[in-house]
């Protein structure tokens, strides 16, 4: 999985999602060069859900069934 910036450049390549206790650890490389491990705690996951409105929640439920856009370079 890749995460892109607004210009379509890859910011992060996610290689693995894994559980560590109650946390979600996201392992990958930033700019395809620097390895990193990001940690998402239950508190932060709840805070992220509070930022979502109904329209965005519906989008997240359907994103797996959508075609990719060709905007990225």
Domain locations in the chain?
Answer: 2-65
Mean pLDDT of the chain: 92
Q: Contact 2/13 with Cβ under 8 angstroms?
A: yes
- Return d(Cα 9, Cα 71) in angstroms, integer: 10
DSSP letter assigned to residue 24: E
**Integer angstrom CA distances of residue 24 from 5, 11, 15, 43, 66:** 23, 20, 13, 11, 25
Give the tens place of pLDDT for each residue, 24-46.
Answer: 999 999 998 999 999 999 999 99
pTM above 0.95, yes or no: no
């Amino acid at each position: 999985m890749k995460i892109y910036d607004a210009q379509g450049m890859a910011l992060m390549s996610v290689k693995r999602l894994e559980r560590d206790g109650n946390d979600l650890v996201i392992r990958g490389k930033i700019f395809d060069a620097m390895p990193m491990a990001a940690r998402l705690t239950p508190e932060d996951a709840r805070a992220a859900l509070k930022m979502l409105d109904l329209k965005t929640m519906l989008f997240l439920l359907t994103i797996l069934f959508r075609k990719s856009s060709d905007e990225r370079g």
